[in-house]
């Protein structure tokens, strides 16, 4: 299970109120798209879910328990850029989390544990369509491939909650459409709840089970600092999507589909 409960959450930076009185229950396995104008606090909200920032007031519960006050393996994150380490190969990037969590002091795995971690990493790399690129460095990958690597890096830790901050915002439209399909498959196949910030309404409605809008209800210049943004809209997608289950309405678009060809952003497959 991975149910999020956010209760009367406030976030202030000095005199500036960024978020005010945000309350929302997010069901286990939901895929929530968070939209709203620039600067309204979407990334701040995500950082609080990650444990990188603390709320000024209010609480965040994961399955009824307060969220640990620092990032942990139960929460994965992918940002628009710079989620992967440039000095590590694809395999190294995917293995890193495993190595860090398994061997706190040595930061290395040995013997059987290492072999099974490597097998798992290879499987995850294949699942995001990067098989064959294990030895490459991020600079040798296209933007879409780097984001697929970032997804593999987050997912190998089997997070209960996956947080995405405009992860596909910098990609070309064709590649974006492909990665949307991949994202859908990953959500169907991995037991996680997803919260994704996006500027792209189409992306929100393509992927999410629920679209939530943050807005500052009072937005005159003199009020800007004194009032934060809060949830102004909360739309459940119809027809409903359910993780792990083919949609009876659009099984081809919304079901747990498998990819059947090479990705367009893989230079090895470019014609
Ligand atoms: N560490 C910080 N210290 C002070 N102010 C901050 C900090 N982080 C964010 N803010 C302020 O909080 C507000 C919300 O920022 P945030 O990055 O969460 O917005 P956003 O909705 O993600 O915007 P965008 O869509 O442009 O990414 C902004 O006014 C920003 O200046
Ligand atoms: Mg942001």
List, for residues 179-204, the tens digit of each pLDDT value: 999 999 999 999 999 999 999 999 99
User: Of the candidates 189, 192, 174, 140, which has an alpha carbon nearest to the alpha carbon of residue 265?
Assistant: 174
The confidence band for 107, taking pLDDT boundaries of 50, 70 and 90, is low
Distance 76 CA to ligand 1 centre (A): 20
Question: Which pairing describes strands 16-26 and 4-13: parallel, antiparallel, or unpaired?
Answer: antiparallel
Mutation probe of ligand 1 site: the residue of 33, 34, 43, 214 with most atoms within 8 A of C-beta? 43
| Extents of the domains making up the chain | 4-85+160-269
The predicted pLDDT at position 224 comes to: 66
Q: How do residues 51-75 score in pLDDT, each as one tens digit? A: 999 999 999 999 999 998 889 889 9
User: What's the pLDDT at 108?
Assistant: 66
pLDDT band per the 50, 70, 90 thresholds, residue 106? low
When pLDDT is cut at 50, 70 and 90, the band that residue 43 belongs to is very high
First to last CA, the chain: 44
Write the residue with the smallest CA distance to atom 26 of ligand 1: 38
- Answer whether residue 100 shows pLDDT above 90: no
Encode pLDDT of 214-231 as tens digits: 998 876 777 766 789 999
CA distance 240 to 230: 25
Closest CA to 198 of 150, 242, 164, 151: 164
CA distance 95 to 107: 11
The pair of structure tokens assigned to 226 is 């004194």
- The reported pLDDT for the residue numbered 238 is 86
The minimum-distance atom of ligand 1 relative to the CA of 166 is 27
Ligand 1 contacts (CB < 6 A) are: 13, 18, 36, 38-44
The pLDDT of residue 222 is 72
Q: Is the pLDDT of residue 265 over 90?
A: no
Q: How far apart are CA 244 and CA 256, in angstroms?
A: 6
pLDDT at 58: 97
Helical H runs in the chain? 42-50, 90-102, 111-127, 143-155, 173-189, 201-207, 251-254
pTM (2 decimals)? 0.92
Distance, in Å, from the CA atom of 27 to the CA atom of 25, rounded to the nearest integer, reads 6
CATH number for the 4-85+160-269 domain, one of 3.40.50.300, 3.30.390.30, 3.40.605.10, 2.60.40.1940? Answer: 3.40.50.300
pLDDT tens profile 118-144: 999 999 999 999 999 999 999 999 999
| Rounded (10°) CA dihedral 168, 180, 77, 20 | 80
CA of 45 to the centre of ligand 2 (A): 9
- Give percent above pLDDT 90 in the chain: 64
CA-wise closest residue to 259 among 120, 128, 124: 128
Q: Any bridge partners for residue 39, and if so which?
A: none
Nearest ligand by distance to the CA of 42: 1
Give, for ligand 1, the residue of 42, 201, 212 to mutate: max count of ligand atoms closer than 8 Å to Cβ.
42
């Amino acid at each position: 299970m991975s149910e999020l409960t956010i209760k009367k959450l406030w976030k202030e930076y000095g005199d500036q109120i960024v978020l005010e009185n945000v309350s929302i229950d997010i069901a286990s396995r939901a895929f929530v798209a968070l939209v709203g104008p620039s600067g309204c606090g979407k990334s701040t909200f995500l950082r609080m879910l990650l444990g990188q920032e603390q709320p000024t007031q209010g609480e965040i519960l994961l399955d009824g328990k307060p969220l640990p006050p620092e990032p942990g393996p139960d929460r994965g994150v992918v940002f628009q850029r710079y989620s992967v380490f440039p000095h590590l190969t694809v395999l190294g990037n995917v293995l890193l989390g495993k190595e860090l969590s398994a061997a706190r002091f040595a930061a290395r795995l040995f013997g059987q544990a290492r072999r099974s971690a490597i097998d798992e990493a290879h499987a995850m790399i294949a699942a995001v369509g990067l098989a064959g690129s294990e030895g490459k460095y991020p600079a040798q990958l296209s933007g879409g491939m780097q984001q697929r690597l970032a997804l593999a890096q987050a997912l190998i830790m089997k997070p209960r909650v996956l947080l995405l901050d405009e992860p596909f915002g910098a990609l070309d439209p064709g590649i974006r459409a492909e990665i949307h399909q991949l994202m859908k498959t990953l959500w169907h196949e991995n037991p996680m709840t997803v919260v994704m910030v996006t500027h792209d309404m189409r992306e929100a409605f393509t992927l999410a089970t629920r679209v939530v809008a943050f807005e500052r209800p009072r937005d005159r210049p003199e009020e800007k600092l004194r009032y934060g943004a809060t949830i102004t809209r909360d739309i459940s997608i119809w027809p409903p999507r359910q993780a792990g289950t083919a949609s009876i309405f659009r099984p081809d678009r919304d079901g747990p589909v498998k990819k059947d060809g090479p990705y367009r952003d893989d230079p090895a497959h470019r014609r």
